[in-house]
Amino acid sequence: MPALSPTMTSGNIGTWQKAAGDVIAPGDVLVEIETDKAQMDFEFQEDGVLAKVLKDSGEKDVAVGNPIAVMVEEGTDVAAFESFTLDDAGGEKAPPAKESGEEAAESSEPADSGSQTSPSTLPKSEPKESAPESQGSESSGGRLQTSLEREPSASPLAKALALERGVPIKKVKGSGPGGRITKQDIEKYKPETSAAPSAPAGSAAPTYEDIPASSMRKTIANRLQQSMNQNPHYFVAATVSVTKLLKLRQALNSSADGKYKLSVNDFLIKASAVACKKVPAVNSSWREIDGQVVIRQHNTVDVSVAVATPIGLMTPIVKGVESLGLSSISAQIKDLGKRARDGKLKPEEYQGGTFTVSNMGMNAAIDRFTAVINPPQAGILAVGTTKKVAIPSLAEEGNGVEWDDQVVVTGSFDHKVVDGAVGGEWIREFKKVVENPLEMLL
């Protein structure tokens, strides 16, 4: 079992893409593995032949380093491994149990990766040897479901459409390769009309459905709960005029000749980086290193961008935003957002960051909202939708009004790191650069 993220101690086996006897070349996808943060393809990096699968699809909580398959060189007699077992491979270890305080030590950043934004990590005790018998999940109480039973193989477009139409994707039969569910399958789906089984006399039929939480959903829940419990949030809101910004955006897009198409969010991400450079205390994080508490102030602004995906919220990172142009920011966000929704992000592309922007402006019903800080960061900006507001006209003739495009932004700050006055100063700098967007081009 490979470690596909720095915080991964165990994983769940998804669908095997190769069978015993298949030849494997470097870069071939061997198996889908569900980590604590996402479901990822494990690409094998050597030539060989898959001789035996030791852990079937659906196996849960397989400790990192435990055998899951046998690989041999080409020309080796694969039939000789037909009766090969886990015991023959050296047995298996149980995944290390998380202590109550260990979750707090995990962050959105990779542990001690050598980068300037990497947190220190506490040493973990070696997992004890356990009996070689396969271990059932404590939370399931029954036989482990396969990856396809938990979440059927479906294209990202099919997942999004199923979510939009309320289609139970587990009941859809896929027509794509290997039973993969496509957009057309969702569009053709018709609910079953068979009568429900009659309930026993005196008892009512269930009016709910229990949906098992995925590993990613559990991780999101744990991290947000950790953030609210350990980071004293306070909120600063401001109404910002984006009339000049929208005019600049239109002018730049008109002259782009199709090379780029800037969004309002591209400007806001750039503006947040400008504000972080002017108020560097916000571009900081609370750290405990070797028993000593420090506030780490980052020299670069790596902005995490909240992206809604079919399996949960992801925050891919645009690094060094303070030194990037708007077209480069736009291209990176489009690429990272697409791969986030496709489940193709690498761990280093969503672990890290020094500040986060969460924009719900595409939903016209959202005037404003508050966001939960993404630890160990000290701030996150929540952006509502754009509204046209009548304001007094500055024209000399009469007391007329004119229409102004405005958006409400709300900054959430960690009071351990950022004092109230500092959070207010950051919002003021952000508002200033947004309302005078040519400053972003300087």
Residue range 176-190, pLDDT digits in tens: 777 778 888 888 887
The residue with tokens 């200033």 is 432
The residue with tokens 């398959």 is 69
- H helices within 280-361, ranges in order? 326-341
**pLDDT tens digits, residue range 363-401?**
999 999 999 999 999 999 999 999 999 998 876 666 788
Tally of CB atoms within 10 A around 412? 25
* Range among 28-37, 92-101, 175-184, 356-365 with highest mean pLDDT value: 356-365
| CA atoms of 304 and 70, how far apart (whole Å) | 39
Q: Sorting pLDDT into bands at 50, 70 and 90, what band is 94?
A: low
| Non-local CB neighbours of 341 within 8 Å, separated by 6+ positions | 156, 160, 307, 309, 310
pLDDT at 109: 52
Backbone phi, then psi, for 429, in 5-degree steps? -65, -40
| CA atoms of 325 and 409, how far apart (whole Å) | 23
Asked whether the beta carbons of 356 and 269 are under 8 A apart, the reply is: no
Choose among 75, 23, 31, 25: nearest CA to 53.
Answer: 31
**Strand partners for 71:** 50
| Non-local CB neighbours of 365 within 8 Å, separated by 6+ positions | 385
On the question of a cis peptide bond just before residue 376, with omega within 30 degrees of 0, the verdict is yes
Residue 326 has pLDDT above 80, yes or no: yes
Q: Sorting pLDDT into bands at 50, 70 and 90, what band is 346?
A: confident
User: How long a stretch of residues is the chain?
Assistant: 442
Tally of CB atoms within 10 A around 243? 18
* Range among 12-16, 124-128, 131-135, 225-229 with highest mean pLDDT value: 225-229
Q: Sorting pLDDT into bands at 50, 70 and 90, what band is 150?
A: low
* Range among 86-95, 98-107, 320-329 with highest mean pLDDT value: 320-329
State percent of the chain over pLDDT 70.
82
pLDDT at 36: 66
**pLDDT tens digits, residue range 295-316?**
999 999 999 999 988 878 899 9
* Range among 152-166, 170-184, 190-204, 238-252 with highest mean pLDDT value: 238-252
Please give the single-letter amino acid code of residue 242: V
| CA atoms of 43 and 346, how far apart (whole Å) | 12
Taking the alpha carbons of 306, 379, 317, 244 in that order, is the dihedral positive or negative?
positive
Q: Sorting pLDDT into bands at 50, 70 and 90, what band is 102?
A: very low
pLDDT at 152: 67
pLDDT at 151: 60
Asked whether the beta carbons of 92 and 133 are under 8 A apart, the reply is: no
| Rg of the chain, C-alpha, whole Å | 26
**Strand partners for 72:** 49
pLDDT at 104: 37
Please give the single-letter amino acid code of residue 248: L
Residue 220 has pLDDT above 80, yes or no: yes
pLDDT at 203: 63
Residue 133 has pLDDT above 50, yes or no: no
**pLDDT tens digits, residue range 33-80?**
877 667 778 887 788 888 888 888 888 888 888 898 888 888 787 787
Q: Which helix (H) or strand (E) holds 420?
A: helix 420-435
| CA atoms of 76 and 55, how far apart (whole Å) | 21
pLDDT at 392: 87
Tell me the pTM: 0.62
